[in-house]
């Protein structure tokens, strides 16, 4: 006995379609059934033509971004020399999208997490300019540069393999890149400003540094604090220790004077050889901004250069 039933089944991504199901009752599994063939005249001779789809409109051509302007050929970076590249966010003429184009996906995500536009722009410009500089020093491409971090978060160059060391700092309108050959380097820059919390921060400094600040005239106290602060920050960044390095575990000896004075590491409880191993150099990008460069004692020359033009702004001998 043949029983026909009409049911519905789900087709992938479509509406349910009717399906004719045929079952056989009263037969054992060994029974055979022959089904008659449909007469040929019942089969359609021609299939109807599918209607032509309307032509899709052409996608508008995306405007081509001009290539990042090539930096002038970088000066040679011999062992014993540090190149300190200076960049002002306000003076940048290269469109923001060009800088963004050389960043990797993780860097773009980081940029999007900034709440303030100025901070986001400064991060993108700083990271892109670093990539462009390192690409030239290592004969690579900016987008191919790969970074890695040590256990304390200090970034270093993973690809291409290179003895080039670098450190980055930014504050206010300024971005600086310190780049050296086979020498650890740290740099910090800060805009001098008033803050009610500075005195409490200084309580974490070494005892000798607190005494030095206490003896400073009140009108010059903020400047003295930030001078000491950038020295300590640059030294910690050169070590690559981050927040794991206690601010009172080392002392900076800092005679007051004009730019070009050389403060020094007086002691470091974690490294007895530190006073003989490191150099500190203070510089002033402008009258309201202080910076410090910390380099291995083997470095003798610092060249301060303008990013973009490559102009040598200053050449300082560390004697």
Give Rg (Cα) of the chain: 34
Euclidean distance between CA atoms 315 and 319, whole angstroms: 13
Cβ neighbour number for residue 272 with a 10 Å cutoff: 10
Instruction: Read off φ and ψ for residue 126, nearest 5 degrees.
Output: -65, -45
Task: Summarize pLDDT for 89-104 with one digit per residue, the tens.
Answer: 888 877 888 889 999 9
Euclidean distance between CA atoms 282 and 79, whole angstroms: 21
pLDDT exceeds cutoff 60 at 22: no
Asked if residue 133 lies in contact with residue 157, where contact means CB atoms within 8 angstroms, the answer is no
Instruction: Give me the CATH code for the 184-297 domain, please.
Output: 3.90.470.20
Sorted by sequence, the CB contacts under 8 Å of residue 14 that are 6+ apart come out as none
Residue ranges of domains in the chain? 184-297
Task: Summarize pLDDT for 192-247 with one digit per residue, the tens.
Answer: 988 778 999 999 999 999 999 999 988 889 999 999 999 999 999 999 998 899 99
**113-114-120 Cα angle (round to 5):** 120
DSSP reduced 3-state for 122: helix
Euclidean distance between CA atoms 189 and 174, whole angstroms: 8
Name the average pLDDT for the chain: 83
Under DSSP, the state recorded for 250 is E
Cβ neighbour number for residue 265 with a 10 Å cutoff: 21
Strands 174-181 and 81-88: antiparallel
Question: Residue 60: pLDDT band by 50, 70, 90 thresholds?
Answer: low
Percent of the chain with pLDDT over 70: 79
Task: Summarize pLDDT for 111-125 with one digit per residue, the tens.
Answer: 999 999 989 999 999
Asked if residue 249 lies in contact with residue 270, where contact means CB atoms within 8 angstroms, the answer is yes
List alpha helices for the chain, DSSP H. Answer: 96-101, 105-112, 117-138, 198-202, 207-214, 221-239, 274-277
Q: Is pTM, for the whole model, over 0.85?
A: no
Euclidean distance between CA atoms 227 and 233, whole angstroms: 10
Asked if residue 244 lies in contact with residue 257, where contact means CB atoms within 8 angstroms, the answer is no
Euclidean distance between CA atoms 134 and 8, whole angstroms: 65
pLDDT exceeds cutoff 90 at 172: no
pLDDT at residue 76, rounded to an integer: 85
pLDDT exceeds cutoff 60 at 24: no
pLDDT at residue 143, rounded to an integer: 93
């Amino acid at each position: 006995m043949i029983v026909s039933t009409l049911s519905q089944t789900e087709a992938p991504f479509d509406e349910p379609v009717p399906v004719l199901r045929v079952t056989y009752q009263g037969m054992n599994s060994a029974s055979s059934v022959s089904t008659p063939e449909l007469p040929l005249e019942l089969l359609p001779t021609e299939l109807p033509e599918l209607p032509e789809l309307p032509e899709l409109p052409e996608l508008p051509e995306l405007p081509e971004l001009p290539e990042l302007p090539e930096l002038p050929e970088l000066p040679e970076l011999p062992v014993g020399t540090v190149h300190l590249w200076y960049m002002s966010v306000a003076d940048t003429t290269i469109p923001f999208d060009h800088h963004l184009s050389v960043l990797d996906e993780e860097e773009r995500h980081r940029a999007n997490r900034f709440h303030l536009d100025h901070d986001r722009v400064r991060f993108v410009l700083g990271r892109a300019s670093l990539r462009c500089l390192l690409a030239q020093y290592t004969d690579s491409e900016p987008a191919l540069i790969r970074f890695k971090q040590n256990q304390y978060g200090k970034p270093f160059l993973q690809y291409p393999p290179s003895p080039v060391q670098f450190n980055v700092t930014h504050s206010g309108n300024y971005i600086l890149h310190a780049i050296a050959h086979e020498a650890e380097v740290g740099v910090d820059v800060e805009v001098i400003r008033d803050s009610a919390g500075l005195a409490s921060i200084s309580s974490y400094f070494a005892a000798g540094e607190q005494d030095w600040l206490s003896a400073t005239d009140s009108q010059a106290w903020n400047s003295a604090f930030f001078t000491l602060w950038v020295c300590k920050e640059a030294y910690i960044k050169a070590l690559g220790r981050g927040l794991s390095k206690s601010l009172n575990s080392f002392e900076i000896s800092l005679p007051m004077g004009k730019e070009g004075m050389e403060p020094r590491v007086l002691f470091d409880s974690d490294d007895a050889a530190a006073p003989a191993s490191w150099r500190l150099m203070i510089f002033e990008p402008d009258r309201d901004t202080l910076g410090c460069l910390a380099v291995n004692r083997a470095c003798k020359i610092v060249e301060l250069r303008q990013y973009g033009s490559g102009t040598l702004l200053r050449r300082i001998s560390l004697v």
